[in-house]
Amino acid sequence: MSIVYTSEYLEQKLKSELDAKVVKVEDMSDGCGAKFSCLVVSKKFEGMPLLARHRLVNTVLAKELETIHAFSQKSLTEEQYEKQKDSL
């Protein structure tokens, strides 16, 4: 039997591990924990290309991603977030 992760659990883990300013995780699978969409804003992303940011998030959630069917992310620096936050 697979472990079912919640949005709250993923948010807390990402906030803690990435020292993130903003983390929003939405369960897109009607609560069954199979499909998530997330926004992560962290200073740790400064100077990193987008692919490296995604890899960092995926590394933090490596164990969880073994059982999650689909995971999409938007990984932004604080500066990028300030410019885009009204449209997110």
CATH number for 41: 3.30.300.90
Return the ∠ at Cα 6 (arms to 53 and 4), rounded to 5°. 105
**Cα gap 63→53, rounded to integer Å:** 17
pTM for this model (two decimals)? 0.91
Residues 6+ apart with CB under 8 A from 73: 37, 38, 39, 40, 54, 57
**Residue 28 reports pLDDT greater than 80:** yes
Range of the domain at 64: 7-76
Check residue 1 and give its pLDDT: 56
Query: pLDDT digits over 37-66, tens only?
Result: 999 999 999 999 999 999 999 999 999 999
In a domain, 87, yes or no: no
Q: For residue 12, what are its two tokens?
A: 């807390």
What is the average per-residue pLDDT within 13-42? 95
The residue assigned the tokens 């490596």 is 62
Q: Count of domains in the chain?
A: 1
Collapsed DSSP state (helix, strand, coil) of residue 68: coil
Query: pLDDT digits over 71-83, tens only?
Result: 999 999 999 999 9
In a domain, 81, yes or no: no
In a domain, 55, yes or no: yes
